[in-house]
Amino acid sequence: MSNFVNQITFITGAGSGIGRATALAFAKAGAHVVVAEVNEECGRETVTQIQQLGYEALFVGCDVADPAQIEAAVRQTIGAYGQLNIAINNAGIGGKYGRFIDQTKEDFDQIMAVNVGGVFYGMQAQIRQMLTQPEGGRIVNLSSIAGVRGMPMGAPYSASKHAVIGLTKTAALEYVRQNIRINAVCPVYTHSTMVDELINTAPGMEERMRRMIPIGRFGQPEEIAQAILWLCADENTFYTGQSLQLDGGLTAG
């Protein structure tokens, strides 16, 4: 696989789980990683981990639910490095585990603001910059298996992740001739803070979740990170507008 030496790589929600694993993987491959996080402590911890490995990283505080903040974070990245080669719109929240009819407007609006607004306004700022670069750029958005299947007890989350695929496909088609490749990944349950919270909602939950997955285990954040790197690789020139399912065989059945 190609290396990512000096590639400016902006990752939202890189303070934990899949985002942190992706930040570490890009840094090890030579990228300059920008950690855009609402949680300053865990975002700075990712930067420290990258620096301890001898690589470069920058922390940028950012709540992706606020269009002005995500735009400012992208601008800060360009101000620091002069370009933006890769953007990973990863920040997301799971919302409340509960019946469709019990989900509230407050929960719905919050999940849409973070999971959909963060990707939409993030991509607007990222694409504007990539359009100024002859080499274009690459974007990967975090959808989910809940973005291609229904998710009982998670209606707003599932809706938000379906929307991420719509944004991904549409932007990919609009900018395919400008050398900007845009894809999504759709992981099944993967070890992270978000999944730990879900596991803790009820006794026996972890086992029930595991039984759904043909391979018999949850994903590891590093496995998702490697797929994201592949999507952004220079050699990967013909793959755009797609949703890569990383699900231990779930949707094969």
Ligand X SMILES: NC(=O)c1ccc[n+]([C@@H]2O[C@H](COP(=O)([O-])OP(=O)(O)OC[C@H]3O[C@@H](n4cnc5c(N)ncnc54)[C@H](O)[C@@H]3O)[C@@H](O)[C@H]2O)c1
Active-site amino acid positions? 157
Using the rule CB under 6 A, give the single segment among 100-108, 124-132, 148-156, 191-199 that binds ligand X: 191-199
Nearer to ligand X, 69 or 129 (CB): 69
Query: Which helix (H) or strand (E) covers residue 26, if one does?
Result: helix 17-28
Nearer to ligand X, 3 or 251 (CB): 251
Percent helix, percent strand, percent coil in the chain, to nearest 5: 50, 15, 35
Nearer to ligand X, 63 or 127 (CB): 63
Q: Is 247 in the site for ligand X (CB under 6 A)?
A: no
Cα angle, residue 66 at apex, residues 199 and 168 outer, rounded to 5°: 70
103/96 Cα distance (integer angstroms): 8
Select the residue interacting with ligand X from 4, 8, 9, 19 (CB under 6 A).
19
146/156 Cα distance (integer angstroms): 10
Using the rule CB under 6 A, give the single segment among 7-15, 49-57, 167-175, 235-243 that binds ligand X: 7-15
Using the rule CB under 6 A, give the single segment among 48-56, 76-84, 182-190, 232-240 that binds ligand X: 182-190
Hey, which residues between 47 and 106 contact ligand X (CB under 6 A)?
Answer: 62-65, 90-93
In the chain, beta strands by DSSP E? 8-12, 32-37, 57-61, 86-89, 137-142, 180-187, 243-246
Q: Is 183 in the site for ligand X (CB under 6 A)?
A: no
Contact residues for 184 (Cβ-Cβ < 8 A; gap 6+): 140, 141, 142, 143, 147, 164, 165, 168, 242, 243, 244
CA dihedral sign of residues 195, 197, 198, 199 = positive
Q: Is 18 in the site for ligand X (CB under 6 A)?
A: yes
Amino acid, res. 143? S
Select the residue interacting with ligand X from 24, 57, 111, 114 (CB under 6 A).
114
- Kindly state the DSSP code that residue 145 receives in the 8-state scheme: G
Minimum gap (Å) between residue 86 Cβ and ligand X: 16
Hey, which residues between 207 and 226 contact ligand X (CB under 6 A)?
Answer: none
Nearer to ligand X, 29 or 42 (CB): 42
Where on the phi/psi map is residue 21: left (φ > 0), alpha (ψ -120 to 50), or beta?
Answer: alpha
Q: Is 142 in the site for ligand X (CB under 6 A)?
A: yes
Using CB under 6 A, count the residues that bind ligand X. 29
172/179 Cα distance (integer angstroms): 10
Q: Is 243 in the site for ligand X (CB under 6 A)?
A: no
Binding site for ligand X (CB under 6 A): 12-13, 15-19, 37-39, 42, 62-65, 90-93, 114, 142, 144, 187, 189-190, 192-195
